[in-house]
Amino acid sequence: MNTAELTEQIVALPEEERARLIEQLHANAPAWIPASFREGMVDIAAGRVVELDEALRPPPPGQ
C-alpha cells in the first residue's frame, strides 16, 4: 500500500473513526513530533484553550 492509497482510505472513514485514528497516532507519536505539540493537542481536546484575541487583549486599567 502506498501513501496515496492509505490517504484515500483514511479520507473514506467515517468522521468518528478518523478521529479515533488521529488520537491513536498522537498517542503513539514518534519522537519527531515535539512533546510540547502533543501536550498542546491534549489541552485543545480537553478544552483548556483561550482565544488568541482574548489572550492578547491588554488588561483593563487598574488590574
Query: What sign does the CA torsion over 10, 13, 17, 18 have?
Result: positive
As a whole number, mean pLDDT of residues 4-30 equals 89
- The band of 10, judged by pLDDT with boundaries at 50, 70 and 90, is very high
- The pLDDT value recorded for residue 11 is 93
Query: Of 28, 16, 22, which Cα lies nearest the Cα of 44?
Result: 22
**Is 80 exceeded by the pLDDT of residue 8?**
yes
**Which pLDDT tens digit goes with each residue over 24-41?**
887 887 777 888 888 998
- The pLDDT value recorded for residue 15 is 94
Query: Of 30, 26, 54, 28, which Cα lies nearest the Cα of 42?
Result: 26
